[in-house]
Amino acid sequence: MATYILVHGAWHDAGCWDGLASLLRSRGHRALTPTLPGHESGNEKDKPSPWSITMEKYAAALIEVAAQADQKPICVGHSMAGFVLALAAERRPDLFQKLIFLTAFVPEKKSRLLPMIIADPSLRKRILNSDFNILGGTNSVRPETAPDFLYTDCPPEMQRDATAALIPQPVRPLLSSVAITPERFGSLPKAFVECTHDQALPIALQRRMQRFANFDQVKSLEAAHSPFLSMPEKTTDVLEELASA
């Protein structure tokens, strides 16, 4: 059986994986769901300053979890976490068995996430549906817009609960530069799970980013941006299939 590390995307914490992680465990796998630095719930006074959070800190947190795993893990990154996977794998490729990008951003040699988003017309408009707190160093999704692009195919009650769980996203990781090399990141087996109805990362962009790396496998889900919520069984099936390939 496999060990999975499930890495959440922007505005989320590890709680978004609860259903999927439970399914993986019920099938005999180990599922680790770290919350990235700066995404912890609780008293805001106890959190580190958002300006202290970088993509390097995200990657370091993932590396720490991978180093403590019982076997080389299969690392699944959703959305923004594609950059986290890439940087962690570039730093310590020896720790990972396989990387799975779940409708996730893929860096191209040397990239920064926010400029990539702004440069793409299909994503630029999403920036207008969020609010930047420049002094606080965060970006927040407007609750009235989240169901339309993050949870498009989820039932209304699930949309409400998921939207209520969203947290401010530290901005600095979105500005951090991630550089990858064929010798390190490129050496690992990689798969991309595309979501054909995604309104946050449109399928055309997903397929363009698939050309940025040597993906060994590409699987499709007829899902929107959060298939771990809208179709956890099918998503689990795909992750198991990719683990055994």
Per-residue pLDDT tens for 145-188?
999 999 999 999 999 999 999 999 999 999 999 999 999 999 99
Find, among 80, 79, 76, the residue nearest to 66 by Cα: 76
Q: Are strands 110-112 and 177-179 parallel, antiparallel or unpaired?
A: antiparallel
* Res. 118 pLDDT band, cuts 50 70 90: confident
Q: Which domains does the chain have, with CATH numbers?
A: 3-244 (3.40.50.1820)
Res 126: pLDDT: 74
DSSP state for residue 113 in the 8-state scheme: H
Instruction: For residue 31, give the 3-state DSSP assignment.
Output: strand
Asked if the model's pLDDT at residue 128 lies above 90, the reply is no
State the average pLDDT for the chain.
Answer: 94
Asked if the model's pLDDT at residue 127 lies above 80, the reply is no
* Res. 129 pLDDT band, cuts 50 70 90: confident
* CA 20 from centroid of its chain's CA atoms: 14
What is this structure's pTM? 0.96
